[in-house]
Amino acid sequence: GENVEQHPSTLSVQEGDSAVIKCTYSDSASNYFPWYKQELGKRPQLIIDIRSNVGEKKDQRIAVTLNKTAKHFSLHITETQPEDSAVYFCAASETGGSYIPTFGRGTSLIVHP
């Protein structure tokens, strides 16, 4: 089955800095890669996703890049703000047949004011 590794497990940055979280996946059939943000005590929320026919996608301060050859994808947050502090999860799945998303273990991002 699919295996998703996520690094780092904890990331501490100063407000205004950039943050990068990386995930690697093992199944070359995976073609859908969402990122979720989960604030303490709240539900996960999709913040950005990318499909395998695209190499990069941006949404304001958030971007995701995908390298299919190397089987890794990354989340980039620029100009971080204290409200970006949360746990971020990546996931990988194959949507053509059975959709069984596999999640990374999460990255706790702490943005210091």
Partner 1 sequence: KAGVTQTPRYLIKTRGQQVTLSCSPISGHRSVSWYQQTPGQGLQFLFEYFSETQRNKGNFPGRFSGRQFSNSRSEMNVSTLELGDSALYLCASSLAFDYEQYFGPGTRLTVT
Is residue 89 a contact partner of residue 6, using CB atoms and an 8 Å limit? Answer: yes
Binding mask 54-83 for partner 1 (x = CB under 8 A): ------------------------------
Nearer to partner 1, 24 or 80 (CB): 24
Q: Give the nearer residue to partner 1 in terms of CB position, either 18 or 95.
A: 95
Residue 45 binds to partner 1 (criterion: CB under 8 A): yes
Residue 106: name the closest of 2, 1, 4, 3 by CA: 4
Residues 2-41 that bind partner 1 (CB under 8 A): 32, 34
State the first-to-last Cα distance of the chain, in angstroms, to the nearest integer. 41
113 binds partner 1 per the rule CB under 8 A: no
| CA 61/CA 76 separation, integer angstroms | 8
Tokens, residue 100: 């069984």
Report in angstroms how near the CB of residue 99 gets to partner 1 at its nearest.
4
